Amino acid sequence: MPDAKPESPAPDEGALNRVSHGYAPDGRPIAPPPVPLEKIIDDVVDNFQATAKAELALLEARGELALHGATWAASWGAVAASALGVAMLALAFGAILALTPQVGPLLATLIVVGVLLLIAAFAGWRAKASYADIRTALRRNLVDEESDD
């Protein structure tokens, strides 16, 4: 049985050299000229300057955010401290009024003042301990550390 395929013509040798399957249609590419060292150094310096500016902008933004947070924390802390102060006054007056029929007004006042002084002394002692922790954390040299207590 004869072969049904027609004979394909012999490929032209010059045409095959031009086929590159999409990578370089006109043959091998010519190597680009080398980049001068001055251009590379200029690019590195420009990139370094841009990086430094971006880092400084980031530090500034973080500082602004910290300041914003500290401002609102202090504001709400003042509101909370004021409310606590008013509540402590109300508690003290209520305790004096409740103790007055049992021990008299003078002794009731002295008892409430004594208890409030004990609470204040305990709170002051804890505040001093916390302040010492802050001083220790902010000290530059922690190797030769001595206790602040």
Q: What is the pLDDT of residue 10?
A: 54
Residues 72 and 66: their CA atoms lie apart, in Å, by 10
For the chain, helix, strand, coil in percent to 5 are 70, 0, 30
Residue 104 has pLDDT above 90, yes or no: yes
pLDDT tens per residue across span 49-72: 999 999 999 999 998 998 888 899
Helix (H, G, I), strand (E, B) or coil at 140: coil
Tell me which residue of 138, 94, 79, 88 sits closest to 117, measured CA to CA: 88
Residues 62 and 56: their CA atoms lie apart, in Å, by 10
pLDDT tens per residue across span 67-85: 888 899 999 999 999 999 9
Tell me which residue of 92, 91, 109 sits closest to 100, measured CA to CA: 109
Domain ranges of the chain: 34-138
Please give the structure tokens belonging to residue 5.
């395929």
> Which residue shows structure tokens 């300041």?
67
Q: What is the pLDDT of residue 139?
A: 76
Q: What is the mean pLDDT of residues 89-104?
A: 94
- Residue 100 makes CB contacts below 8 A (sequence gap 6+) with 108
Q: What is the pLDDT of residue 15?
A: 53
At 144, give phi and psi (nearest 5°): -95, 45
Percent of the chain past pLDDT 70, that is, above it, reads 74
> Which residue shows structure tokens 């880092």?
55
Q: What is the mean pLDDT of residues 5-33?
A: 59
- pLDDT grade, residue 14 (50/70/90)? low
Q: Which of 145 and 87 is assigned the larger pLDDT?
A: 87
The CA dihedral of 90, 95, 97, 98, to the nearest 10 degrees, is: 140
Tell me which residue of 78, 81, 112 sits closest to 97, measured CA to CA: 112
Residue 26 has pLDDT above 80, yes or no: no
